Structure 1
Amino acid sequence: MKQQQRNGPGPTHQQAEQHYLVEPRHLAGGGDLRHVTEYLRASGWKDRSKRRGPIVFDSPDRMVRVGFDPTTPPGGWAIRAKATSHQEAWHAILGPQVPVEIVAGFTDALTKPRSAHAPNVWAPLQGWKAEQRAHFTAKSPDGNAFMQFHRSAPGQAHWWAGARTEHGRIWDATFTPTTPMHLLQSFSSALADPQPVMRPRGHIPPSNRIRTTSVSVLPSELGAWQQARIAAARAAAWARTSWATTQPRKTPAASTHASRTGSVR
């Protein structure tokens, strides 16, 4: 990535900053929380966070809450949904070291309409190694991440995910049996995505199982990438709102008037 050049006098040129492309992404560490929160904000979610307190965002209908609190055990992300007429209450807990790009796979899906297609959590994990023991488990090609399923009773399907390095388990994610399947599929898609993720210098977890590529990035480039993601969220939110407000409405007053007019003799 080349530094931009300008001719003639003017402000000091931007200085490129060293970042790293990290792979596999499931070992990249937590990352910048704004990758998740700014997308929610742009999608119309309400920021309920208190100063110096946990991060809290509520969905526009107040039925789902996304929070991040590294201080209260078990720490990390807590996503909770209230029961509705067609969906039982559910919650998910994702540890603080779950990469934000994987968290966003789950939370971004909360802001979008559910697909008409039947979800399949395992479909994105093609190429992962399947193991059938007490649990059904899919392991990543490098053996360092997993997605796991266990049915303890009819209607009780438990889901877990996690990753480890040579230092032991680095993060876990747990989902209640009532967690919507399309959200789990979005999570597994982000988990299995082969694309590396970017981290600034000094934010690379210590592990010999991580591969890094050094890149020089201008602050303006980082800002443009972040704004593109936010703009996409705003556009999707605007489209949903616009569609809802432009639906044809019935005009009972006009119908009544026509009926009365026709009855006059």
Structure 2
Amino acid sequence: MNNKKWQGWGAGEQAEQHYLVQPRALAGGGDVRHVSEFLRASGWREKSKKGGPLLMQSPDRTVRVAYDPYVLPGGWTINGPADGRNGEWSAHLGRQTPVEIVAGLTDALTRPRSAHASNVWAPLQEQQWHTRLEGENFLATSPDGTAWMQYLQEADGAAMWWTGAQDQQGNGWTATFTPNTPMHLVQALSAELARPDPVMRPRGRVPLSAQIRTWSVSVTPSQLGAWQQARITAARAAVWAQSSVRLRTSARPHTPDGGARTLR
């Protein structure tokens, strides 16, 4: 998408009604450009066919992020490569997974992996989620009971990560991750899932649910554009910083003409 579409509309623009929605896990899908534009600004290439579902490919062509709303149940699919010890991995997130939570995982795909060991449960426990062991399965549930994160292990040894959210009317979403999905990606998603701050949705895009709380706010198109542009700018800055590090580490030490000399 042309980045100019994210710029403000200028003087005389009219404020539009939006809503802050909490908890974020029940806010509905949102605008997929929250995910795709960040990936594009991070150097990812769009491989979507005209009029078809969204398909983004990493710069090294090893990871793909797809969003298909035209099939049932539809939603997000992320595929990654084998790393030598483990085979290919994949994640599948339902169509109503909030884009802010999806971006927890997809944004992490653009960053170098941390040297620290990953802990999926840490962000949840920091936000007072309830954790417990059920047989061979470890489960964490949000304080209001609407969202969960679970590590499932079957009797045959098969295992997977399973997360999601659901209100009392049965509305919500689920997501599954193969057991070899890189742990830092699952942790990045759990961190966004656990965040207590609300997310914004335009009028007409707020789910009907007795479990959500909303606050009406007036927002101008230029404000929305500026917020999105700030996210894009941050992605580009990260790419530039990573490129600078690679250039510095790959640069050869300079040797003066005539070679090294020994001072006496």
Output the TM-score relative to the length of structure 2: 0.87
Return the match for 1:216 from 215, 218, 223.
218
Corresponding residue of 2:229: 227
3-state secondary structure, aligned to 2:104: helix
Give the AA of the match of 1:97: Q
Q: 1:224 to 1:86 in 2, by over 3 A?
A: farther
Equivalent AA in structure 2 for residue 39 of structure 1: F
What is the identity, as a one-letter code, of the residue corresponding to 1:104?
A: A
1:185-264 to 2 correspondence within 5 Å? 185-250=187-252
Aligned to 2:119: 120
Matched, 1:19 2:18: yes
Please say if residues 162 and 169 of structure 1, whose CA atoms lie closer than 8 Å, have aligned partners that are also in contact: no
Once the two structures are superposed, what CA deviation does each residue of 1:95-132 show, in whole Å capped at 9, x if it has no partner? 01000000000100000001111010000011111232
1:74 is aligned to 73
Q: Which of 157-166 and 222-231 deviates more?
A: 157-166
In structure 2, the residue matched to 1:161 is 163
Instruction: State, as a whole percentage, how many aligned pairs show the same letter.
Output: 59
1:146 equivalent among 148, 151, 159: 148
Aligned to 1:104: 103
Distance 1:219 1:160 in 2: 37
Tell me how far apart the structure 2 counterparts of residues 97 and 52 of structure 1 sit (CA, whole Å).
21
The 1:155/1:58 distance shift into structure 2, 3 A limit, reads farther
* Matched residue SS, 1:32: coil
d(CA) in 2 for partners of 1:63, 1:149: 26
Within 2, Cα distance between the matches of 1:114 and 1:108? 12
- Aligned partner of residue 36 in structure 1, secondary structure: helix
C-alpha deviations, 1:154-208, integer Å up to 9, x for none? Answer: 9854110011112115200000010011001001000000010000000000111
Q: CA RMSD in A?
A: 2.3
Aligned length: 247
CA–CA separation in structure 1 for the residues paired with 2:72 and 2:156: 30
Consecutive unaligned residues in structure 1, runs of 5 or more? 1-10, 260-265
Give the 3-state SS of the residue equivalent to 1:247 in structure 2.
helix
Report the equivalent of 1:262.
none
Alignment partners' CA distance in 2, 1:12 and 1:225:
18
Tell me the TM-score normalized by structure 1: 0.87
Q: How far apart in 1 are the matches of 2:190 and 2:219?
A: 29
Correspondence for 2:3: none
**Amino acid across the alignment from 1:91:** S
Worse-matched range after superposition: 133-142 or 37-46? 133-142
Show the counterpart of 1:95.
94
